[in-house]
Every structure is written in structure tokens, then in C-alpha cells.
Structure 1
Amino acid sequence: MNVSRGSSAVASPESPPPPAQVPGPAAAAAALSTLVVDLQARGLRVEVPLERRSGGAGPSDSGMLWVGGFPITVPTDNAAAADSPYVLKAEDDGYAIFEGSQRLASASTQQRPRFYDLRTDDGIPYWKIGLLHLDSFASTVVQTCSYWGNDDQCKFCGIGVSLDSGRTIVKKSPEQLAEVAMAAKELDGAVDATLTTGSSNGVDRGARYVARCGHAVREATGLPVEVQFEPPLNLDVIDEVADLGIDSVGIHVESFDPKVLAHVAPAKARTGIEHYFRAWERAVARFGEGQVSTYVILGMGEDPEITVEGCRRAIDMGVFPFVVPIRPVAGSLMEDVVPPERDYTERIYRRVASYMSERGMDSSVPKAGCARCQACSGLQSVQAVLQIGPRPGQIPHAV
């Protein structure tokens, strides 16, 4: 018998209990996506061992894990995380995310990579040359930048913090990177390599050297490689990078809002957003649609409409807009910025993800790099909702 809400009718003693309400795939995917995005906004308290990045460039002051199958880096070591309603707890057969007594999602964690315990012949610890971001080998090949320490310094950046703390070396050689990347692949299952660099004053802005390093890694390991650099002054340099067999490139505009870009990254603003589009056009012609990506950082005061329109324009030319919330870096000029709330990032994610889905672009397209990994963004989880749950095999480490 169907009983409407508020009816006084009751089941007879012989009637079986009503079945438990199980959310459908769309509702479950939406709840998980909301959790992923909120974790990146509010952080996570941790009661179990968890591999973390502390300070400096990259996903700093963060834990690395999979939540409900989605890779995620989440703040664990800042003020927001200390007050987070979410906590990672151990279970009999693994881990889970809880809010109070309510279990929200299963989780699995990254343990300390085994290659971190090795050293080069001249005594440099492997972890000072490259790190494992979940399943991606990553390194900043030149840990200096022509903008650092002057009026051009990008306010969100922490490239010099890592170096000052002694957690890395100034310049990694192609041979060192190939050696360490091979260990990351063989000992810890790295599936790609992501190499970035500080910007130089040369016409190539550092692209040639990071590409040489990427070529060495690819030749030694067979891993797909992404290299990241600023738009070269001479766009022919992009062809040189492609000729070295690099799989994907990241050319990061950071913000499509020119006012925000001028404030947070003055040198990038002088390069000009239109020069980024020209560089992307050249890169897409060589690397293919979806193999060129750009970071788009949320929470720096940007105009949402300008941001979404910039993402749409990039998508139309085959560029993957990797939309992320700002992750304040201790020691950077924006260390005290509060990350944007979930409602804000989620609204932009939905609009961008919807357009990406229309154009057939998702995280399965990039061969390597941040857009392949997706852990620093909630975009993948939002796109899964639009697809009524993730496609089989698309999301790794489902638990």
C-alpha cells in the first residue's frame, strides 16, 4: 500500500519493514561531487597516516588521497583544515571520510613512495629531484624564476619557498630526472610525468630546457610527459618542444580577468591574454585537442562571467581549462587569502564542465599532466554528475 507523507495509515504487524532509501546513481554522484568540492574549500582533519606536501610550490600543505574513487589533494595543514567538519578515519578494511558520526565516503590513501628512500650517486635524495603526486611523477626542473623577489612576483606562487627551505635543488639535470622518474615508475607505479619550470628572461621563457628534461624522461621510462612553461616570445619554440616528442603542454594563464591578472601576476598580464591564445593555437596544432591545458584559478577576485567565457573560448580551440580553487601557499604573497567557498567554485565548475562535455573533453583526453591527474580540481567530479555517474574505467582506485 502506498502511503503519502503525513497520512495516519500504518502498516499491519505482518507487513515487512519498508525498504531502505538508496540514492540513485545521479544523486550519489552529486553528493560525492559536493563533498569533493567542499573538501577542497574547507580542508580535512586527519586521524591516520597520510602522505602530504608541506610548503612551497605545487599542491602544498595538502594531503593526497582518493575519495569515493576521485583523486584529490585537500588542505590538511592550515587553519581552515584545523576547523574542518570533515575527518579522515580508519575502518576495518580501509579509510573513510566522516562528518561527525556520519560516514560520507570511502577513501584510500597514498603511502610514502618507496623511491623517496633512494639517493643519486652523489648523495642527493630522490625526493629533492622529483615527487609523486598520487600516480604522477612531478618536478620543477629549475627552481628559480625571473619574477621571484621583485615587483613581478606572482602573488600566489611559492617556487622560492621550496628552495629556501632546502626541500629541493636549484636545477635538475635531464639525467637526474630520467633516473628518478624510472624509479617512480618501477617502485611506485607512476603513470605519467609532469615537469614545470620557473620563467627565464630568454625568448623561450624556459621552454627549451624543460622540454629537454621531458624528452630524457620519456626516452628512459616510456611514460607520457607534460611540460609546462610560459608562452615563448617566439612561438616557433613550441614547435621545438613538440619535435622532442613531448605528449602534452601546460601554458597557464592563471586568470582570464585582466584586472585580476594585472594584480596577481603583473608579468603575465604584460604578456597579454591574447598572446596566450596565440600560443595555445600554435600548441593545439602540434599536440592536438585536449593535449594543451591552462590553469584557471578561482578565488582571486575574478569576474565569474569573464572566467566562464574565457574557458569556453579556450575549449572551442581545443584547450583544456584546468579550473582550480586557489590554494594559499605559506610564504607566498597570498598566504592569508581564504579559499573560495564551495557554492562559488561549484557554480563555475558546472558551467565549464557542461560546455566541456558538449565538446567531448574530459580527463580521459589528456595523456599527461595536471588535466590528466585532476586531483587539485573538483571539475572531474562535477563532470561525472553531468554524465550520470562516471563511465566504467574512467576513475581509478574506486573503493
Structure 2
Amino acid sequence: MTAVDERSSVGIAELIMDLQSVGLRIETVLETSRKGGAGPSDSGMLWIEGVPVTVPPSSVSPYSLRAEDDGQGIYRDGVKVASVSGTKRPRFYDLETADGVPYHQIALLHLDSLASTVVQACNYWGNSDQCGFCGIGLSLAAGATIARKTPEMLAEVAVAARDLDGAVDATLTTGSSVAPDRGALYVARCGQAVKEASGLPVEVQFEPPRSLDVVNEVHAMGIDSVGIHIETFDPAVLERVAPGKFRTGIDTYFRTWERAVSLFGEGRVSTYVILGMGEDPDLTVEMCRRAVDMGVYPFVVPLRPVAGSLMENVPAPAREYTEPIYRKVAGFLEAKGLGADTAVAGCARCQACSSLNLVQQSGGATPCGSGGGPGLLQIGKRPGS
């Protein structure tokens, strides 16, 4: 029996949490990866023991990805700890539109989820409001994408990704706009076109619009789920790393989520919660509880420092810090009956950038109202403190 055979689901969850903290040395070809952008940037995309994962490459990681006769494996200290599969370049990347735009400049396959930033620009970028963790302008500057994708382009690519590479959903995001709808209606029109052409479930992601009636309009277009991302619940951190979002106000996010849940349903509204930016872990856990109680899925992820971003030199948080938070939040989700399966589409469905669903599925959630082992602050103080 190999080390892989002996690994429990709990062990795989622990391994992936480690990898997302310390990264992975790439000693073979990893064909699916991404740099820049507003999503899971600067990451390799792979399946570890059948689990979809994005992992930052690192030349100093104790873990290495090596080629094997029948695939690839992850090794530590010369011992294989997991099998890897599914890292081949998607076939639809080799196609282009009739006017010569390569499909891979329109949308990318994040493992089994088609993803695109439909407007590769943000009113926060390049000024004092720029979000520290974001790289939305970097991939455009590098020529890896185009500035604006049309609904027709995205629909065409979605059909190809479904037919050639087995895409199971589509996630569409956009930079924040100064328009009253904050860009929500355009990304929703793109999502509507993708859904009508491909039949794939679609999530669209946008900032809280000036009027909550915009959320009704998005729902009326047949969109399946929405991501409205606050990034951190700690107001001091939000003001420092995302001043534009800070001015929007945490209460505004909760009001927008409340309207969205009333339309899309519990579990079909999500928000990113990034760990490792100096946040108060107890406050983070309590606010995640509040979000879950209203039917919002807090997609808890470790900071992924993006080369070229304002936070490129901030280290990813250690597993000792992220794991107890995952366990607490997973307990809230379990008690509420929410999980990756209720998300239908989007980041909370994919889960590749987080270990939250792994912890929940492996039985590692801390029961609500229980200490559940070592206390949150016993395990790790906030990063940067």
C-alpha cells in the first residue's frame, strides 16, 4: 500500500491546505496555469486525488510535482503523497473566432469551469483605490486577453469548452464600473448569452449596484447564481487593501446579499473572504456566521499573492492559521445545509482555490457552539500582527 492509498479524505484536505500555503515546485510540464487577472491568478490548475485545486508555483516548496509513467505525482522528501491528473491544455484554446481572436483570450478553463473577466478594466485600477490583492490590469498589459468580451464571443467559446473539454459551468466577472449598476447588467447579458447557447449554469460577479433593483434585473435574465465579493470583513483591513470597497460599506454588502438571496435562493449567493491580509480571525468567523445565517456562502480562501500586484510580497497564510477558520465556517455551512453542491455555479461550486468544502466533506467542521479542539486564537494569530 502506498502513502496515497493510506491517505484519508482528511489527509488530502490537510495536504491541499499546505500546498495552497507553501506552493508547489514544478519539475515537469504543467500545461494549465494562469498569471495576472482578477481570479485565481499565478496558479497551477490540477486535480489532486480527484479534487480540483489551484496551487501557486514555488521554487522553494517542500512539495514537488513530478512526471510518472502513467501521469504525475506530488512528492515530499522523495515520497509520493498524492496522484495528479488532468493538467493537459484545453483543446478549445487552439480555436479562434471568425475575426481572429483566440478563444483563450476570451475565456479560460479553470479545471472544469469556464471563466472570463468580461471587461478587463476597473475604475479602482491604477489609482489610490486599487485593490492590493488584484491583478486585473496585468493580463491585459501582457496581451493575454482582450479588453472587452462580447456576449456573442463568450457564447461561442462556451459551447466549444463544453463540447471539447467538458466544462460544467461558467463564471463571469467584471471590473467595477462607475455606472450606477457597477457593470452588473453587462456581465449578466454576457451570462444570459452563455446560458442560452450552451445550457451551462452561469454565475456572474459584480459589485453592489446603486439600486437593489439591478439585482432583480440580473435575476430576470436567467442567471443561476451571483458572487458579490467583499474580500474581508475586517473594516480596518478593507480600508487599507480595498478602499473603494470600504467606501461602499460592509452594511451595503449585507443589504445587497439579502436582496440577492431572496431572488436566487440560499447558497446561490456567495462572497470571497480572503485570509492572510492582517484581519481579525474572530471577527472574520463571526461575520461569516452572519452571512451563512442569511443564506450567503462565504467562500473563504487564502491570500494568493499576485506578481505585479500591490501585495505581491505579502506571504500566503500558513495552514495553522487558515485551518481553524475553515473548520469554524464549515460548521456554520453544515448546520445551515449549504455546500458546494448548493452553489450550482461559480467559485463556490468549483472550490479549487479553497479547502473549505474539503474540510466540510471530510467531517472536519467544528460543530456550531463547540470548541471543536484547539481554539481559533490558540492555533494562529492574525497574519501581519
Give the alignment's TM-score, normalised by structure 2: 0.92
Partner of 1:38: 18
Deviations 1:344-391 (A, max 9, x none): 011111111112111111111111000000000011221122179xxx
The 8 Å contact of residues 4 and 83 in structure 2, kept in 1 or not, is answered as no
Between the aligned partners of 1:203 and 1:33, the Cα distance in structure 2 is 41
Partner of 1:70: 51
The 8 Å contact of residues 36 and 381 in structure 1, kept in 2 or not, is answered as no
1:58 to 27, 39, 43: 39
- Amino acid paired to 1:110: T
RMSD between aligned residues: 1.7
- Structure 2 SS opposite 1:167: coil
Going from structure 1 to structure 2, the CA distance change for 1:102 and 1:118 (only over 3 Å counts) comes to same
The 8 Å contact of residues 53 and 59 in structure 1, kept in 2 or not, is answered as yes
- What are the residue-to-residue correspondences of 1:278-297 with 2, within 5 Å? 278-297=255-274
Partner of 1:131: 108
Between the aligned partners of 1:295 and 1:278, the Cα distance in structure 2 is 16
Partner of 2:190: 213
- Amino acid paired to 1:373: C
Q: State the identity %.
A: 64
- Amino acid paired to 2:292: I
- Structure 2 SS opposite 1:116: helix
- What are the residue-to-residue correspondences of 1:112-261 with 2, within 5 Å? 112-261=89-238
Give the alignment's TM-score, normalised by structure 1: 0.88
- What are the residue-to-residue correspondences of 1:379-398 with 2, within 5 Å? 379-386=356-363
Partner of 1:5: none
Pick the structure with greater CA Rg: 1
- Structure 2 SS opposite 1:357: helix
The 8 Å contact of residues 57 and 329 in structure 1, kept in 2 or not, is answered as no
Between the aligned partners of 1:22 and 1:337, the Cα distance in structure 2 is 33
| Structure 1 position 364 matched with structure 2 position 341 | yes
Between the aligned partners of 1:55 and 1:156, the Cα distance in structure 2 is 11
Between the aligned partners of 1:89 and 1:148, the Cα distance in structure 2 is 38
How far off is 1:24 after superposition? 11
**Unaligned runs of at least 5 residues, structure 2:** 366-385
- Structure 2 SS opposite 1:365: helix
Going from structure 1 to structure 2, the CA distance change for 1:377 and 1:23 (only over 3 Å counts) comes to closer
How far off is 1:52 after superposition? 1.1
- Amino acid paired to 1:52: S
Which structure 1 residue ranges, 4+ long, deviate > 4 Å from structure 2? Answer: 20-25
Going from structure 1 to structure 2, the CA distance change for 1:21 and 1:116 (only over 3 Å counts) comes to closer
Between the aligned partners of 2:212 and 2:119, the Cα distance in structure 1 is 21
Between the aligned partners of 2:70 and 2:3, the Cα distance in structure 1 is 22
Pick which of 52-61 and 147-156 moved more.
Answer: 52-61
2:352 to 375, 378, 387: 375
Between the aligned partners of 1:148 and 1:317, the Cα distance in structure 2 is 31
What is the count of residue pairs matched by the alignment?
364
Pick which of 169-178 and 105-114 moved more.
Answer: 105-114
**Unaligned runs of at least 5 residues, structure 1:** 1-19, 389-399
- Amino acid paired to 2:99: D
Between the aligned partners of 1:21 and 1:159, the Cα distance in structure 2 is 42
